[in-house]
Structure 1
Amino acid sequence: MTDSDLSAHHVGITVDDLEETLPFYRDVLGFPVADRFDVSGEAFSTVVGVEGASAEFVHLEAGGVRVELVEYGFDATEMPTPTLERPGASHVGFAHEDVETFYEGLPEDVPTTSEPQTTASGSTVLFVRDPEGNLVELIER
């Protein structure tokens, strides 16, 4: 297999409450909903490795990247609040032409790790948290 055999399809984020989290990605980040569907059955349970699994999915379009929010149909183990320095940490990053203006327009209830910062590489970066604490990076180069 060569690098050209693969291409990005989506970035998936598992959430506890889809109805609570969706407005952040749709309204605050401005990503339109592309699709919404449910999945269940034996093949789905097998592929995710969870007996009796079912899930509700929402796909959003994010400038050429599909963001997939998924809520499983049962209570899952709650993860600790994500931090960037631990092995296995993840975040999703989106480019923005003016991170400072984006920051100034954020609703007051959207938590950030700091005000936008310009790093030694010349990138202006802002990390925000979605309603479930997942890290989302906004970067301006």
Structure 2
Amino acid sequence: MSSNLTAHHYGITVADLDRAIEFYRDVLGLDVLDRFAVSGPAFADAVGVDGATGGFAHLDAGSARVELVEYEPEGDDADAGAVNRPGATHLGLAVEDVEAFHEGLPSDIETISDPRTTESGATILFVRDPEGNLIELIEA
């Protein structure tokens, strides 16, 4: 079987779509491409949640989209926890200058550490969105 898969979007489930959009748009600088809702039996069946509806926002992340989704009914909170926990996820976004990006962050944005240059030569910075999701900013 031949497969020509390419990344379309990276999905992040959030509890407050408006608050998440503000962070990804205003702090990370991603443009909102589209905002829409999806419901109905086919959607609920596809996501495996009885009666599910979803509020969606698609943001421009270059070669793929970041998809923010607020579900109703809301499920239990996932443990955002540490990056080394099996099943942990993070969104990686390339930036030209991690140090400058870090200096421009609002003071209330949680970071794991200051920017660090790893043995591979990449400079990285992990931040958390308002819901605790990890985002890695990387200067390769």
TM range (shorter): over 0.9
Shift of 1:2: 3.0
TM-score by length of 2: 0.96
Shift of 1:85: 0.7
Q: Which residue of 2 aligns with 1:66?
A: 65
Instruction: Give, in whole Å, the separation in 2 of the partners of 1:94 and 1:47.
Output: 28
Percent identical among aligned pairs is 59
Shift of 1:9: 0.6
Instruction: Give, in whole Å, the separation in 2 of the partners of 1:89 and 1:96.
Output: 22
Shift of 1:116: 0.1
Q: Which residue of 2 aligns with 1:25?
A: 24
Q: Which residue of 1 aligns with 2:117?
A: 118
Q: Which residue of 2 aligns with 1:130?
A: 129
8 Å Cα contact 1:93-1:139 kept in structure 2: yes
Alignment of 1:21-60 (within 5 A): 21-60=20-59
CA RMSD of aligned residues (A): 1.0
Runs of at least 5 residues in structure 1 that lack an aligned partner in the other structure? none
8 Å Cα contact 1:82-1:89 kept in structure 2: yes
- Range that drifts further, 20-29 or 74-83: 74-83
Instruction: Give, in whole Å, the separation in 1 of the partners of 2:68 and 2:45.
Output: 20
8 Å Cα contact 1:82-1:135 kept in structure 2: no
Q: Which residue of 2 aligns with 1:2?
A: 2
Runs of at least 5 residues in structure 2 that lack an aligned partner in the other structure? none
